[in-house]
Structure 1
Amino acid sequence: MAENRLAIGIDLGTTYSCVGVWRNGRVEIVANDQGNRTTPSWVAFTDGEKLIGEGASNQVASNPSNTVFDVKRLIGRSFSDASVKSDAKYWPFKLIQGHDERPLISVSYLGEKKEFSPEEISAMVLVKMKETAEVFLGPGTTITNAVVTVPAYFNNNQRKATKDAAAIAGLNIMRIINEPTAAALTFSEGRKWSRSEERTVLVYDLGGGTLDVSLVVVKKGVLHVRATAGDTHLGGEDFTNNMVDHFVDEFKIQNKKDISGDTRAVRRLRNACERAKRMLSSDARTVVDVDALFEGIDFHSTINRALFEQLNKDLFLRCMEPVETCLGDAKIDKKKVSDVVLVGGSTRIPRVHRLVQDFFNGKEPSKSVNADEAVAHGATIQAAILMGDKKRDVKVHVIDVMPLSQGVSVKGDVMSVVVPRNTTIPTTKEQIYVTTYDNQPEMCIEVYEGERAMTTDNSLRGKFTLSGLTLAPKGVTKVNVRFQIDEDGILHVSAEDKKAARKKNITIMDDPRRFSKDEIKRMVQEAQRYKAVDEEHKKNVQARNEIDNLLYTMRNTTEKLQHSASGLQDLVDGTKEWLQNNELNSDELDAKKQLLEAIIGQTSTK
């Protein structure tokens, strides 16, 4: 297949990621090399290789400080962000402050200390998804185009950081699509609704790290997002964190020992809590059992749903706030919602399901979509739409919205909103601002994002200065400020004094914490270099395994030949010692393999 006719949909999740391809007129969610349709968003580093997915999560107990996860909670954030500080105490890996407040992850890799940005770690997960799809589509397939999902409430900086991660992974993002919008695409696909029928669908998406709620009106093949709301720091990981805190305290009470400073012990306890949380979705009671948790002391405890809900009561209170906000912004009564769709693994928590059902007066949420795969499925549909292949039977148009208000700072640090939240995108909005003192020669345009009245409470997204203004009394010179937002929710701002013919613009992608083109180029080259190292390691492992198989065959031969095979046995023993005592490259291993194969061939003909 020609690579320019291929595009994939990727759900880059906090805890799990998923990839889909469009083939034979439908979406196929692709299983990874372990046969699973979702892949842990985990990356682990060792002295010999880099592991992604199940390989990384399976070895975390023995290598916690070099195993990275939850990176989606870091991407696009600053090191001093309160949520980053809060999460860091649960992470076994080391987080350090980089240039311009960038958070960096410090690990030991290939025998040396390395620092990776959240974007680089996310890029490794994206590469895994890309390669999973390429293997599925067959030899020689190369994929460069993708639609990648983000939480609807991701801000401009987080969206740009996701684009950076894709660039490092060698992917061209055709579109960033909001996760609940993708799920709505999945839900509406194949529905036998009449063209004149209008359906109001509320998507409730609670995953590992974020909560998004979107209200989507579907009519005549058009999905129009009317409003979106959410919480970028509420998900399954938070429920697990509260369980961990509870059992750390219980262990301390039982044994008078504090395990909170032992990353390996906390990680093992966290794994047990994660398993228990999942079990409580189907069972009323389960156990948290860890052998030799700390200083040889076994830990055993029980937890039931009532206790789980008590530990997380504050989180459950937050679960319905975005629903109320979303409906209020859309000015739609909850009674007029046709369908409620639950997406994300954390919606399997019985209390969450019950909260949503109770809010909608007992309406049973739809279970017609796979909660783990719906977002990737929708992203793949969007990819098929964008590819524009006439053979693709996709006739849907998506209209999305801006999740957060965009504006500028005016006198007194007041937030002057130019683009209100839930404005349909793409969009262009303009506003006139005037000088605030006589003969003002320049105007500083500070661009903010958020819903608070004062800019000090919102997020600064960028700033620039328009110089050479027409000199006049205050309030006379007018500057036209234009905000343009593209389909990905990326903001472009320009300011113009038409009278003086002065204009300046900025793409609010150039945040000082973001990467320059040169930095991204360097990261791409570094990723390719490490890819070569990983490939060499895989070759070595495979070659060693093949030699082990040959030695096994030779041992069987010596047993059959008995006394006449002492030389063969010496060769087996010598080869085993050679493998154990030497760092060998794939060429040396291949040469030894060929030698052994020749000897086996000669022996079998005697």
Structure 2
Amino acid sequence: MTVAFGIYVGCSSCCIAVNKDGKFEVVANAAGDRVTPAIVAYHDMEVVTGLAAKQGMIRHAANTIQNVLRVVGTTEDEGQGQPCGGSGSGGMCRPNWEGGQARYSVQRGDKTVQVTADEVITHIFSLLKEIAIAHTSEPELPVVICVPAWSSENTVAVVKKAAKKATFNVQATVSQPAAAVLAYGLADDNKQNAYVVVLHCGGTTVVGSVVEIAGGLLTLKESITSSSVAGDSLTNVLVQHFAKEFYTKYKGDPLENRRSRRKLYNASENCKHVLSTMNTSQVYVESLWEGVDFSTTLSRARFDGLVAGTLTAFLQLAREAVQRSGLTEAQISKVILSGGSAKIPRLQQLVGDAFSKADLLCSLPPDEVLAAGASMEAALLLGQSTHASVASSLVPALATSIFCKILGSESNECVFSRGTPTHSRQMLSQALPTPAPANCTVVIYEAEELVEDPQEEAVLTQIDVTNLTQDSKLLRLDFHLKSDGSLHVVLQETHAKINRTFIIESGRS
């Protein structure tokens, strides 16, 4: 039994999926959660990672590090423009750059210690390794890592190095949009061309991407990233709402000190997650301000009204990516939502309305989609005798789709769609007219889309099939697109014992 893992590491959270025999399962951490905070806290005698680090942020803010992925592999000039968190990150440990590398100053006992961003992210992978080893008895942990679409080559290199330090056997990395497409198996059909929008709504960024699927090959046409609106923007809206409500009741400002602000941020974040699945959420914060407890209730309808403008900004990013790709909303056939904030029902409704002709795919939990897609890629790579881990590659492919039609019948199907890479194979069973004629003609032609009457210049070849019998029902055609661009076709009909082979030389497609 082959076991492979897929990991998604983002700025605010991480997730791991295991793939056994072609089926994936997102696995839980020790606390029973399937999504783990990407947070690391340095204490006097130990390093705490994940949920425990997040829970201790109020007491140990100065020694707690989050959003580390934003700064790994960056220089000082690049890193200074990176957001390091929302209003809930006040007092959090901030990076500084020494020797071209991001570092953090943390207090460990009586000493101030410098730790690099590379070390911090290695701790995150070490936690994920502990989750992984509970699901396999094999000594190796093969993994594909999904990285954000905005990640630089340096960032990807550091992520791979950190995973290897945590004893993962890194097979490859895959970007967010590709992982989302893989999770839903959209690349399996190599006969259909499709444009897919992937909207990732993370904690610190929103990414709108357009992916073209052609012949089983994925092409990222456009990707736009925004840090001005994200999941923490929604949380901050709730923080301001609850702070105003508290002030109205008690004439005190819970945002005036870091501790109260952090408590209110945590409660607002929890409220946001609850309202993704429930119609109302109870909010309670003990000793929020000068010993005063805060208790309130928020409905989903009220929440939708508060965050309406922010959700519209999320959607606008997807629309902008479509426009930059030179497409219209009507040309999009699928929309995939990923990221924790994509669980919000109102956002799903807005996206569905904007892309009304597309299928909205959110049957998988949005915050688990990317790890699932990475695990699918890991399983594919392990199933190959050899593989190369590369960031991108140039693959020879068809410039125009190829179709096969039997004249006089309704049989007219796509053989290879535009963008199909060489070396590819396809088998079709084409229905003959009823009753079966003694002779028929098969036309193989190229076109942008299926047509009933292909132009003469579009016809690649025309084959006359003779001596068919009354029992003849189907023609079987086996197409083999060679790496040199030639198309080899085997035509068979069992009742008439027809078996013919012919070659269409390269040069047209």
What TM-score range do you get, normalising by the shorter chain? 0.5 to 0.7
> How far off is 1:268 after superposition?
1.8
Letter aligned with residue 141 of structure 1: P
SS at match of 2:259: helix
Letter in 1 for 2:159: T
Within the candidate set 284, 289, 296, 1:294 is matched to 289
- How far apart, in 1, do the equivalents of 2:216 and 2:133 lie? 31
Match of 2:322 in 1: 327
- How many corresponding residue pairs? 391
Residue 196 of structure 1 corresponds to which residue in structure 2? 191
* Contact persistence 1:225–1:400 (CA under 8 A): no
**1:269 aligns to 2:276 (yes or no):** no
Q: Secondary structure at the match of 1:274?
A: helix
CA contact (8 A) 1:29 1:377 kept: yes
1:94 is paired with a residue whose SS is: coil
Higher percent of residues as helix: 1
The answer to whether residue 139 in structure 2 is matched with residue 141 in structure 1 is: yes
Q: How much does 1:62 deviate?
A: 4.2
Range that drifts further, 344-353 or 170-179: 170-179
Q: 2:33 aligns with which of 31, 36, 41?
A: 36
Contact map agreement 1:20 1:30 (CA 8 A) in 2? yes
1:379 Cα deviation (Å)? 0.9
Aligned residue for 2:7, secondary structure, equals strand
User: For residue 341 of structure 2, what is the amino acid of its counterpart?
Assistant: S
C-alpha deviation, 1:7, in angstroms: 5.2
Per the TM alignment, residue 10 of structure 1 is displaced from its structure 2 partner at its CA by 0.9
The amino acid of 2:6's aligned partner reads: G
Give the superposition deviation at 1:219: 4.2
Q: How far apart, in 1, do the equivalents of 2:85 and 2:144 lie?
A: 31
Structure 1 residue identity aligned to 2:107: S
- Judged with a 3 Å threshold, the aligned counterparts in structure 2 of structure 1 residues 14 and 361 are, in CA distance, closer, same or farther, namely same
Q: Decide whether the 8 Å contact of 1:181 with 1:400 is kept in 2.
A: no
Pairing of 1:206-605 with structure 2 (within 5 A): 206-232=201-227, 234-252=229-247, 254-260=249-255, 262-305=257-300, 307-361=302-356, 363=358, 365-389=360-384
After superposing the two structures, state which structure 1 stretch, 125-134 or 210-219, moved more. 210-219
**1:105 matched to which residue of 2?**
104
Higher strand share: 2
Residue 360 (structure 1) shift: 1.1
> Which one-letter code corresponds to 1:98 in the other structure?
W
Question: Which residue identity lines up with residue 14 of structure 1 in the other structure?
Answer: C
User: Partner amino acid for 1:31?
Assistant: A
1:140-159 alignment, distance < 5 Å: 141-143=139-141, 145-159=142-156
- Quick check: 1:268–1:290 contact (8 Å CA) kept in 2? yes
The structural deviation recorded for 1:375 is 0.6
- Following superposition, the deviation at residue 74 of structure 1 comes to 4.2
Alignment partners' CA distance in 1, 2:333 and 2:155: 32
User: Cα deviation per residue 1:229-277 (whole Å; 9 max; x = unaligned)?
Assistant: 3324542122112322343454455444444353332222112101111
- Distance in 2 (CA, whole Å) between partners of 1:314 and 1:119 is 37
C-alpha distance after superposition, 1:471-519 (max 9, x if no partner): xxxxxxxxxxxxxxxxxxxxxxxxxxxxxxxxxxxxxxxxxxxxxxxxx
Report the alpha carbon displacement of residue 114 of structure 1 after superposing the two structures with TM: 2.7
Structure 2 CA distance for aligned equivalents of residues 297 and 228 of structure 1: 46
Kept in 2: contact 1:281–1:349 (CA 8 A): yes
C-alpha spacing 1:198/1:98, structure 2 compared with 1 (3 Å): closer
Alignment partner of 1:178 is 2:170: no
Q: Any conservation in 2 of the 1:92–1:264 contact (CA below 8 Å)?
A: no
SS of residue paired to 2:135:
helix
Moved over 6 A (4+): 397-401
1: CA distance between counterparts of 2:252 and 2:143?
49
**Which residue matches 2:113?**
114
Residue 86 to residue 232, structure 1, CA distance change in 2 (3 Å): closer
Partner amino acid for 2:378?
A
Tell me the amino acid that sits aligned with residue 108 of structure 1.
Answer: Q
CA contact (8 A) 1:180 1:212 kept: no
Q: Deviations over 1:167-208 (max 9, x none)?
A: 5545564432111210101111696x5x42333322222122
2 CA distance for matches of 1:400 and 1:269? 48
Deviations 1:78-99 (A, max 9, x none): 4873553774773442325332
Q: Relative to 1, partners in 2 of residues 1:232 and 1:388: Cα closer, same or farther, differing over 3 Å?
A: farther
Determine if contact 1:286/1:304 at 8 Å carries over to the other structure. yes
Q: Is residue 61–residue 267 contact of structure 1 (8 Å, CA) maintained in 2? A: yes
SS at structure 2 position matched to 1:303: strand
Q: CA–CA distance in 1 between the matches of 2:187 and 2:93?
A: 47
Amino acid at match of 2:150: Y
CA distances 1:303-326 after superposition (whole Å, capped 9, x unpaired): 344553454454334212322232
Check conservation: 2:183, 2:370, Cα contact below 8 A: yes
2:433 is aligned to: none
- 1:48 matched to which residue of 2? 45
In the superposition, relative to structure 1, how do residues 82 and 249 fare at CA in structure 2: closer, same or farther (>3 Å)? farther
- Aligned to 1:84, the other structure's residue is in SS state coil
Distance (whole Å) between structure 2 residues aligned to residue 85 and residue 33 of structure 1: 27
The alpha carbon displacement at 1:374 in A equals 1.5
| Code of the aligned partner of 2:367 | D
Contact 2:19 2:379 in 1 (8 A): yes
**In the aligned structure 2, how far is the partner of 1:282 from the partner of 1:385?**
34
SS of the residue 2:200 aligns to: strand
SS in 2 for 1:275: helix
In the alignment, is the contact (CA less than 8 A) between 2:19 and 2:376 conserved in 1?
Answer: yes
Distance 1:232 1:64 in 2: 23
Q: Which residue pairs with 1:123 in the alignment?
A: 122
Residue deviations 1:14-40, cap 9 Å, x none? Answer: 333111233223334333233333222
Distance 1:115 1:257, change over 3 A: farther
2-structure distance, mates of 1:253, 1:100: 50
Whole-angstrom CA distance in 2 between matches of 1:121 and 1:249: 37
C-alpha distance in 1 between matches for 2:155 and 2:305: 32
Whether the aligned pair in 2 keeps the contact of 1:344 and 1:372 (CA below 8 Å) is yes
Q: In structure 1, give the amino acid aligned to 2:46.
A: E
- The answer to whether the Cα contact below 8 Å between 2:67 and 2:84 also exists between their aligned partners in 1 is no
What is the TM-score when the length of structure 2 is the normalising length? 0.66
CA contact (8 A) 2:187 2:213 kept: no
1:123 and 1:69 map into 2 onto residues whose CA distance is: 13
The whole-number CA distance in structure 1 between the counterparts of 2:228 and 2:73 is 13
How far apart are the structure 1 equivalents of 2:363 and 2:136?
27
Cα deviation for residue 285 of structure 1 reads: 4.0
- Give the equivalent residue in structure 2 for 1:485: none
